[in-house]
DNA sequence: AATGGTGATGAGAATCTTTTTCATTACAAG
DNA sequence: CTTGTAATGAAAAAGATTCTCATCACCATT
């Protein structure tokens, strides 16, 4: 993941793009909103406009560098696409996110699409639950 | 599905609530946005404000009468919860929506949650693809 | 049937996220 | 360096949803 990836995407290597890619690589949070990215950049004294953050994230998504997720909450979160596809497990109390891949489910999805005459191109699977943290349990 | 359901939800039986429930029952589209509901009501000369549509749909959701789905597009769609849970298959070209239930996937999801120390309370599975319609195929 | 309390409604303002506009700036090819 | 074009920032606009608040309607009680 470096400037070559930006070039390969047919995009000029500009400061905002480099900084945003860097940030996605180094951030402790794997899943960040556009607003998160914007604020993190401000904290690093990088004066990059919010509109540019949105533009760049959308371009990175189109280039396959980044994945956009629509968790609940009315806003999108982005994550660097480190090779493998995966799905998400989200704690409805604390918001903790874990990732997983399950070949059984992946295979069944394709089969189901075919059974319905569809050709699958993508999917979104999010499991909501209470995580292991005692504070996140009811009762 | 009738006024008793509204009462059971702890809500007063009012004209907007009755009309919206009726509409959800009789609509040919099972998956409608708040805006859709609002416009359909206007077409029927029911003067119900958009804010009320949002309020009522949210209340119906809390009461378990209605399910809210976040397909792609930045807005929510609602559907009457006719008994069973199901997941969705959405055509990325024409927007056609089909529903399905797969016991294999349902079971695996619960297992995956447990393997990660989560207790599943809900999930969202949307398969995106090209439907059977020739117009919706690439190449 | 009239009354009153509480919850519900409608209109518009407000909020929140994301996109667009447009004048200015910065890549990168020559 | 010069220069064409793509990229940027600020602000406005757009789109979806929620909030505010004055008014209204349901419904239990007279
Ligand atoms: Zn938790
Ligand atoms: Zn992830
Ligand atoms: Zn399911
Ligand atoms: Zn459905």
Count of structural domains within chain B: 2
Phi and psi, residue A60, nearest 5°: -65, -35
CATH number at residue A34: 1.10.10.10
Q: Residues B47-55: what's their mean pLDDT? A: 97
Q: Residues B26-54: what's their mean pLDDT? A: 96
| Of residues A72, A92, A105, nearest to B121 (C-beta) | A92
Pair (A7, A52) in one structural domain? yes
Predicted pLDDT at A71: 86
- pLDDT band at residue A139 using 50, 70 and 90 as cut-offs: low
Q: What is the DSSP string of chain A?
A: --HHHHHHTT----HHHHHHHHHHHH-S-SSEEHHHHHHHHHHTT----HHHHHHHHHHHHHTTSEEEE--SSSS-EEEE--SS--EEEEETTT--EEEE--HHHHHHHHHHHHHTT-EEEEEEEEEEEE-S-GGG---
Tokens at residue B116, please?
Answer: 């990660």
Tokens at residue A138, please?
Answer: 């009811």
- Chain A residues near residue B102 by CB distance under 8 angstroms: 108, 112
Among candidate residues A54, A80, A106, the one where a domain is terminated: A80
B11 pLDDT above the threshold of 80: yes
Pair (B103, B68) in one structural domain? no
CATH number at residue A115: 3.30.1490.190
Predicted pLDDT at B139: 62
Pair (A64, A115) in one structural domain? no
pLDDT tens figures, A26-60: 999 999 999 999 999 999 999 999 999 999 999 99
Q: Does the nearest atom of strand C lie within 7 Å of A58's Cβ?
A: yes
B1 pLDDT above the threshold of 80: no
Question: Which segment of A3-7, A122-126, B80-84 scores lowest on mean pLDDT?
Answer: B80-84
Q: Residues B7-30: what's their mean pLDDT? A: 95
Pair (B76, B119) in one structural domain? no
CB-based contact A129 B112, cutoff 8 Å: no
User: Which residue range is the domain that position A50 belongs to?
Assistant: 2-80
Among candidate residues B32, B60, B80, the one where a domain is terminated: B80
For the entire predicted model, the pTM comes to 0.90
């Amino acid at each position: 993941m470096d400037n070559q990836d930006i070039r390969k995407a047919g995009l000029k290597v500009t400061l905002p793009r480099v900084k945003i890619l860097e940030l996605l690589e180094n951030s402790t949070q794997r899943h960040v909103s556009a607003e998160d990215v914007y604020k993190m950049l401000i904290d690093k004294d990088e004066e990059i406009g919010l509109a540019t953050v949105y533009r760049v994230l959308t371009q990175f998504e189109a280039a396959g560098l980044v994945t956009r997720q629509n968790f609940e909450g009315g806003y999108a979160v982005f994550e660097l696409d480190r090779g493998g596809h995966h799905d998400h497990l989200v704690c409805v109390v604390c918001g903790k996110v874990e990732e997983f891949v399950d070949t059984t489910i992946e295979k069944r999805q394709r089969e189901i699409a075919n059974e319905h005459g569809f050709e699958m191109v993508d999917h979104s699977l999010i499991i909501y639950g209470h995580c292991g943290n005692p504070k996140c349990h009811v009762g």
